[in-house]
């Protein structure tokens, strides 16, 4: 397990003090955290408790040799994924093949060559780190896609059932009833379209299919455009959107990506504001950054929900003050698009007292 001030934790298993001393000199220079055991059983026990990032394992040890130790480690769920590099003076192909068959990732030969030992260790630590990150990412994406597919199937299934029901009993409805039902179907279709739009946009960013095209943009202009898109929704809830930009702020950014971010955040602010409430949008300079705040005085959220807002695969449902449905996908998209700008997004909120999203962007 990697510690804060080290490049990785390495368990060295060797019964020869001279070899251990030499490896300690090599590896401490590279700022690795080093653990040492001198026999197979001790190595297994230490590996289970500490879970090092890599194991350097001598083959020729009394009692339980390196091959047997490796086999035990690979049979334990706690240690089976830890990369093992064998240390040996035996250079025959049969020895190497046996080690690979047992699950080792590499060999270093004795007498040790400093450059070779350090290079092989760093290579396999890098590979291991990438494997762990990829596994976490794949797991999160699997859960995320499962959530989105479930939501989309449910949303379109509900809309389909609704339209079928109305069409079959069309003559039984009054004009006012039909008007109300059509309005509800339109609202449902709009919500589904927004979900699909955000999902497709997020998918493109993950695949690198959305080009990042920064240019000199006036951030106030992008924000005002986003406000205008949702002005009608704000008017329907008698919500006033306040913005007062005292000066112009130009930054290097992708205008389309930032427009997507602000549209999502302003839409959320209106959705979760109480009728007759206000949404305040401010922009100010903070040293070499611009800080944009979007504040509402609506329903707010608790700490547990705030902790999961930008976490892929986390499922939560929040209903707007007028019954509007949210999926959380828009916020995930916002974070990804801001990451492309080396920017950040954070949230402050209190249940029943409103929410503020704060965006920081570098001016250059």
Residue 275: both structure tokens together? 């009728």
Residue 337 contacts residue 260 (beta carbons within 8 Å): yes
* Domains of the chain in sequence order: 9-112 (3.40.50.2300), 140-210 (1.10.287.130), 213-364 (3.30.565.10)
Whole-number pLDDT of residue 333: 79
What pTM, to 2 d.p., does this model score? 0.53
- Which positions ≥6 away from 239 have C-beta within 8 Å? 270, 273, 275, 276, 277, 278, 279
58 pLDDT band, cuts 50/70/90, is very high
Q: What percent of the chain has pLDDT over 70?
A: 84
33 and 9 in contact (C-beta within 8 Å)? yes
Mean pLDDT along residues 252-273: 89
| Separation of alpha carbons 233 and 271, rounded Å | 9
Q: Angle at Cα 270 formed by Cα 192 and Cα 308, nearest 5°?
A: 70
Helix (H) or strand (E) holding 329: helix 329-340
Considering only residues 211 and 357, tell me which one the structure prediction assigns the higher pLDDT: 357
Residue 249 near residue 224 (C-beta atoms within 8 A): no
Q: Kindly write down the DSSP assignment for every residue of 170-239, as one continuous string.
A: GGGS-HHHHHHHHHHHHHHHHHHHHHHHHHHHHHHHHTT-S----EEEEHHHHHHHHHHHTHHHHHHTT-
In the block, residue with structure tokens 């209190």: 350
220 near 261, Cβ under 8 Å?
A: no
Residue 95 and residue 66 in contact, taking contact as beta carbons nearer than 8 Å: no
pLDDT at 56 over 90: yes
Show the tokens assigned to 168. 């079959």
pLDDT in tens, 317-338: 555 565 555 555 678 878 888 9
Of the listed ranges 88-92, 247-251, 295-299, the least confidently predicted one is 88-92
pLDDT band at 198 (very low <50, low <70, confident <90, very high): low
């Amino acid at each position: 397990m990697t510690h804060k001030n080290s490049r990785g934790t390495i368990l060295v298993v060797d019964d020869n003090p001279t070899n251990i001393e030499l490896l300690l000199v090599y590896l401490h220079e590279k700022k690795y955290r080093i653990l040492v055991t001198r026999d197979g059983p001790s190595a297994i026990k230490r590996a289970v408790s500490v879970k090092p990032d890599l194991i350097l394992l001598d083959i020729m040890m009394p009692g339980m040799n390196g091959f047997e130790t490796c086999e035990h480690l690979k049979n334990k769920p706690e240690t089976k994924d830890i990369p093992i590099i064998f240390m040996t003076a035996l250079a025959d192909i049969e020895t190497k093949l046996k080690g690979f068959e047992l699950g080792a990732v590499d060999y270093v030969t004795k007498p040790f060559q400093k450059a070779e030992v350090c290079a092989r260790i760093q290579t396999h630590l890098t590979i291991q780190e990438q494997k762990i990150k990829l596994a976490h990412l794949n797991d999160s994406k699997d859960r995320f896609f499962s959530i989105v597919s479930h939501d989309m199937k449910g949303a379109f299934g509900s809309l389909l059932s609704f339209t079928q029901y109305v069409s079959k009993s069309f003559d039984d409805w009054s004009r006012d009833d039909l008007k109300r039902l059509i309005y509800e179907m339109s609202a449902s279709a709009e919500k589904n379209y927004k979900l699909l739009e955000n999902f497709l946009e997020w998918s493109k960013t993950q695949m690198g299919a959305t080009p990042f095209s920064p240019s000199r943009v006036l951030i106030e202009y992008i924000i005002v455009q986003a406000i205008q898109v949702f002005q009608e929704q704000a008017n329907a809830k008698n919500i006033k959107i306040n913005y007062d930009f005292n000066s112009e702020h130009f930054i290097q950014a992708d205008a389309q990506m930032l427009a997507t971010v602000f549209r999502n955040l302003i839409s959320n602010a209106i959705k979760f504001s109480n009728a007759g409430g206000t949404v305040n949008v401010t922009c100010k300079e903070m040293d070499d950054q611009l800080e944009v705040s979007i504040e509402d005085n609506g329903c707010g959220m608790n700490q547990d929900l705030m902790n999961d807002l930008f976490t892929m695969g986390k499922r939560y449902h929040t209903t707007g003050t007028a019954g509007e449905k949210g999926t959380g996908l828009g916020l995930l998209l916002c974070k990804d698009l801001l990451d492309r700008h080396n920017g950040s997004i954070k949230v402050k909120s209190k249940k029943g007292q409103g929410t503020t999203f704060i965006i920081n962007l570098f001016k250059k």
